[in-house]
A and B are shown apart, each in its own frame.
Chain A
Amino acid sequence: MSELRKQLQAARDDYRSARYPGDLVADLLGKPEVAGRIGGLEDPEQPRRSRWRLMLAGITAAAALAAAIAVIALLHRPATLVPGRSETNEMAVRFSIPAAPEMPHGISVTPPHVDLSAAPARPEFPSIFGTL
């Protein structure tokens, strides 16, 4: 083994004996400010929790909207309702069938008598031989 190789081997043993002074995991993952610096570093449960939170917020918003619509509908109801009489009765159909039209009087509906037995004479046509 060459002198240089021996030296390098000794240097490698020396090099490999170095140890990180502490715990890198605690240094990095244990500090919230450092964890915040790591963009992609997230709790794996985070997306599931976020989904549930989003769903809960959606349900709450929908419920609030429905309640608001109900309140508005109640406020805009007609105030003069007759007790015991529903709004449906109030809206009952109010119409009557008009009277039938009357036929005219004094007009004969039959045509006058015409004798069809006497046929009129046939028209005479000029002859081409007579004119020539």
Chain B
Amino acid sequence: MDQNLPIEAAQRGSRQAQAVLLRELQEPWYRMCLGLLGDPEKARDATQETGLRFLKQLARFRGDSKLMTWSMGIAINVVRESRRSSKKAITDDGQIADGRPAPGDSPEQSASGREQRDLLRTILAELPERQREAVTLRFFEELSVEETAKAMNCAEGTIKATIHQALKSLKTRLTTRRPA
């Protein structure tokens, strides 16, 4: 992706190039913010904040990693700050405060499929923050272990261990709470 992006022009201040980068990255940022915050409004605010910080810090990007990976690190920090400022992502009854229209919510979608998806989403939301971040980046954004480690600013070994713990926890919870 990075090869085709006008990164240097954007770093020099070209608004046109910056617009290209923002359009390329807005979806991954929003998806991740929504996946981790669970609220479309907060996810939108977090995406905008990520965009602002991205433009401010872009001159410091040295190309040690992919632009996407680097920008995901910014988004992760924004999400963490957002979660710290308000711990309302999960409602009192343990359900995700998620009002987004899931594409599977169409009438033809089977009820069991919806239930399963909702169950996984609920279980994911119950995971510790770090595990959710790692699972989101590794499995949903399909970043490599190395890229996930860079985005989360930690060692690859830590990511492997975190993901192992997360998968183990998900498996256990899915087995015990699968709807009859």
Contact = CB atoms under 8 A, between A and B. Distances in A.
- Do A and B belong to a common assembly? yes
B47 A20 contact: yes
Contacts of B135: 8
A90 interface: no
Contacts of A37: 52
B73 interface: no
Contacts of B100: 18
Contacts of B18: 29, 41
Given A40-B13, A41-B13, A43-B13, A8 B139 contact: yes
Contact of B22 (A16, A25, A39): A25
Interface residues of A, number: 32
Interface string B24-48: 0011011100110000100010011
Contacts of B19: 25, 29
B121 to A, nearest CB: 7
A28 B44 contact: no
A34 B23 CA distance: 17
Contacts of B27: 18-20
Interface residues of B, number: 44
B15 A28 contact: no
B18 to A, nearest CB: 7
Contact of B120 (A7, A18, A21, A24): A7
Contact of B30 (A20, A29, A41): A20
Nearest to B16: A44
B13 A4 contact: no
A27 B50 CA distance: 12
A38 interface: yes
A12 interface: yes
A25 B23 contact: yes
A14 B55 CA distance: 29
B52 A16 contact: no
B161 interface: no
B51 A10 contact: no
B13 A28 contact: no
B121 A11 contact: yes
B30 A19 contact: yes
B1 to A, nearest CB: 15
Contact of A29 (B22, B104, B140): B22
B14 interface: yes
9 contacts: A4-B171, A18-B27, A18-B30, A18-B31, A20-B44, A24-B26, A24-B48, A28-B22, A44-B12
Given A24-B23, A29-B19, A40-B58, 10 more contacts: A11-B117, A11-B121, A12-B140, A15-B35, A18-B30, A18-B100, A23-B26, A28-B22, A38-B55, A44-B12
Interface of A: 3-4, 7-8, 10-12, 14-25, 27-29, 34, 37-44, 46
Closest 7 CB pairs of A and B: A24-B26, A20-B30, A17-B103, A15-B140, A25-B19, A42-B13, A20-B26
